[in-house]
Chain A
Amino acid sequence: MADPMKIRATMSGDKVEVKVLMSHEMETGQRKDSKGANIPAHFIQQVTATHNGKTVLSAQWGPAVSKNPFLSFKFAGGKPGEKVAITWTDNKGDKRTDEATIS
């Protein structure tokens, strides 16, 4: 299992600003190791953010997203004390969900 995500959800005016830092190697599949063999691709393919069971953002990523991906977005309708959950799934089927409380 991968390391936990760092999620920060803060009120910005009447919207909730969410910042997520995921811990993932995001290997492209283009690189070779010291023996010249291809390093297999390993990257996050899908990211979903939910608030009170409602999807507030979903993303599909290719291997071009940087290592330890950063994501930030804003949505309306959140209140301090409520939770935002982020889930990612990578191309090897691993997934991870983390939550943060809106402050």
Chain B
Amino acid sequence: MNNGRRKVLKSTGSMAVMGLAAGAGLFKPGSAWAQTWNKAAFETKTMADTVKAMGGTAATESKEIAIVSPDIAENGAVVPFTINSRLPKTESIALLVEKNPNSLAASFDIPAGTEAGVTTRVKMGQTSNITALVKADGKFYYTTKEVKVTIGGCGG
């Protein structure tokens, strides 16, 4: 078992807010979405598995999600992404890089009052499809975009 992970659970458990869900969610990934780090979801290799690990069944493609990113990233270590969702009742936004060792890169929970759009930067091992997975009103939606990564960084 990973020692580091134990420590995290222990320390988050001591925080009043996290304490409630940490115990319950320990061996039930998906049920404690947002409160405990969803280890199972971060170990998945495909989008279908990620959706399952997040407690869903399947995702439908949607044009209401926009991924803003460079088409060609010269440096795979830092690729900026902005994901905006126009789906009503967007609850969470996740970013998946298909060809990374583990596809899920980050997921964000959007409480009411917060705009359904986040910007962050991720690492990409190679040219890959990027998927934005949005949970809105209890259902999962996604959109995909290919981003090319130039290794060696000559800008070609």
Contacts and interface: CB of A to CB of B under 8 A. Distances in A.
Given A46-B12, A46-B37, A56-B111, A62 B102 contact: yes
B27 interface: no
A38 interface: no
A89 B11 contact: yes
Contacts of B97: 64
A57 B114 contact: yes
Nearest to A91: B4
A92 B12 CA distance: 11
Contacts of A91: 2, 4-5, 8, 37
Contacts of B121: 65-66, 69-70
Contacts of A56: 111, 113-114
A75 B105 CA distance: 23
Interface residues of A, number: 38
B147 to A, nearest CB: 13
Interface of A is mostly: strand
Contacts of B119: 70-73
A58 B80 CA distance: 19
A63 B119 CA distance: 17
Contact of B8 (A57, A61, A93): A93
Contacts of A40: 4
Contacts of A76: 113-115
A70 B78 CA distance: 10
A89 B34 contact: no
A46 B106 CA distance: 10
B139 interface: no
Interface string A57-99: 1111111111101111111110000000000011111010000
